[in-house]
């Protein structure tokens, strides 16, 4: 796992070569290569994108001369379309292989399963399950210890995100390591805490909406102080409350 200014990168390194998960931002390429060079002389053979956002795919073109890019079909579609401050991606940045439900690599003596989770963070997210190493890379279905970003304009939803987290927690053994899209290396209990935070705060906003509160009132009421530490620069408490309000008032 590599942390930096974009989404966390995961590597599988072994006799078959290097498989890389996500590519952060283009200007970070030299730093990423330098970090990788400390571990192996090989360049990445495969690059898996967990979803289309620029902080996870910005380095795609820089790695694609050597690496075959693999992602869910909607990652390719949304990269071609552009958005969120990015123009249409160059051809070199696009996944050359796409899938709809899942795809497995049999690589470095284990099954590496890339599994699509529908309409959570976006409509093109996947998690990457290392069945031998007992590790899951969650992409942006996990912001460890902080409020998550959910992107309805890219097909994401609070409801889908919750369902996806429940499914992953049901299927992941408790002793596995969990790589979040953002935040430190985490464990089962951390992912469980994230789900719990979402369930509790979502139920609270649902009650307020049912009581006829406006967005302004919901935001002004804030959250109990136990959730203060989940607030961060990109998704402060106000924005998280707005996300939940919008989720409970759509339709
Ligand atoms: Zn994202």
Ligand 1: centre distance to CA 150 (Å): 8
Report the separation in Å between the CA atom of 211 and the middle of ligand 1, taken as the mean of its atom positions. Answer: 32
Residue 251 pLDDT grade (very low, low, confident, very high; cuts 50, 70, 90): low
Distance 238 CA to ligand 1 centre (A): 19
Distance 212 CA to ligand 1 centre (A): 32
Q: Which fold has domain 10-200?
A: Metallo-beta-lactamase; Chain A (3.60.15)
Span from the CA of 199 to the centroid of ligand 1 (angstroms) = 20
**Model confidence at 229: pLDDT above 80:** yes
User: Do β-strands 177-179 and 135-137 pair in parallel, antiparallel, or remain unpaired?
Assistant: parallel
Neighbour-count burial of 3, counting CB atoms closer than 10 A to its CB (0-12 exposed, 13-18 middle, 19+ buried): middle
Q: Which of 95, 86, 98 is nearest to 23 (CA)?
A: 95
Q: Encode 27-48 in three state secondary structure.
A: HHHHHHHHHHHCCCCCCEEEEE
Question: d(Cα 7, Cα 57) in Å, to the nearest integer?
Answer: 9
Encoded tokens for 216: 């302004």
Q: Are strands 68-72 and 97-99 parallel, antiparallel or unpaired?
A: parallel
Q: Ligand 1 center to residue 149 CA distance, Å?
A: 7
Token pair, residue 71, equals 């992602």
183 conformational bin, left if phi > 0, alpha if psi -120 to 50, beta if neither: left
Residues within 5 Å of ion ligand 1, judged at the Cβ atom: 53, 140
pLDDT digits (tens, 9 = 90+) for 167-209: 999 999 999 999 999 999 999 999 999 999 999 999 999 999 9
State the pLDDT confidence band at 16, using cuts at 50, 70 and 90: very high
Rounded (10°) CA dihedral 153, 159, 160, 163: 160
SS3 142: coil
Q: Mean pLDDT over all residues of the chain? A: 97
Does the pTM exceed 0.85?
yes
CB atoms within 10 A of CB 93: 23
- Label residue 152 by pLDDT band (50, 70, 90): very high
| pLDDT (0 to 100) of residue 85 | 85
- The rounded Å distance from CA 180 to ligand 1 centre is 11
Q: In the chain, what are the domain boundaries?
A: 10-200
Each residue of 68-97: pLDDT tens digit?
Answer: 999 999 999 999 999 888 889 999 999 999
Residue 121 has pLDDT above 70, yes or no: yes
């Amino acid at each position: 796992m590599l942390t930096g200014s974009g989404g966390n990168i995961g590597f599988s390194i072994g006799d078959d070569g290097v498989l890389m998960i996500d590519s952060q931002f283009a200007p970070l390429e030299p730093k990423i290569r330098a970090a990788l060079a400390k571990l192996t002389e090989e360049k990445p053979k495969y690059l898996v994108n967990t979803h289309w956002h620029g902080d996870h795919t910005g380095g795609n073109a820089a790695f694609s001369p050597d690496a075959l890019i693999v992602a869910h079909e909607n990652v390719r579609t949304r990269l071609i379309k552009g958005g969120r401050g990015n123009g249409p991606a160059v051809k070199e940045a696009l996944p050359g292989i796409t899938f709809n439900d899942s795809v497995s690599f049999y690589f470095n003596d284990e099954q590496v399963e890339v599994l699509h989770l529908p309409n959570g963070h976006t409509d093109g997210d996947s998690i990457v399950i290392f069945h031998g190493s007992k590790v899951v890379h969650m992409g942006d279905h996990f912001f460890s210890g902080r409020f998550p970003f959910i992107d309805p304009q890219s097909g994401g939803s609070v409801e889908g995100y919750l369902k996806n987290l429940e499914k992953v927690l049901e299927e992941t053994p408790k002793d596995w390591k969990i790589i979040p899209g953002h935040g430190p290396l985490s464990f089962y209990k951390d992912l469980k805490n994230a789900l719990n935070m979402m369930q509790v705060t979502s139920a609270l906003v649902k009650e307020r909406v049912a009581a006829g509160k406006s967005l302004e009132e919901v935001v002004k009421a804030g959250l109990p102080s136990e959730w203060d530490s989940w607030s961060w620069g990109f998704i402060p408490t106000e924005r998280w409350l707005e996300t939940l309000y919008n989720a409970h008032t759509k339709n």
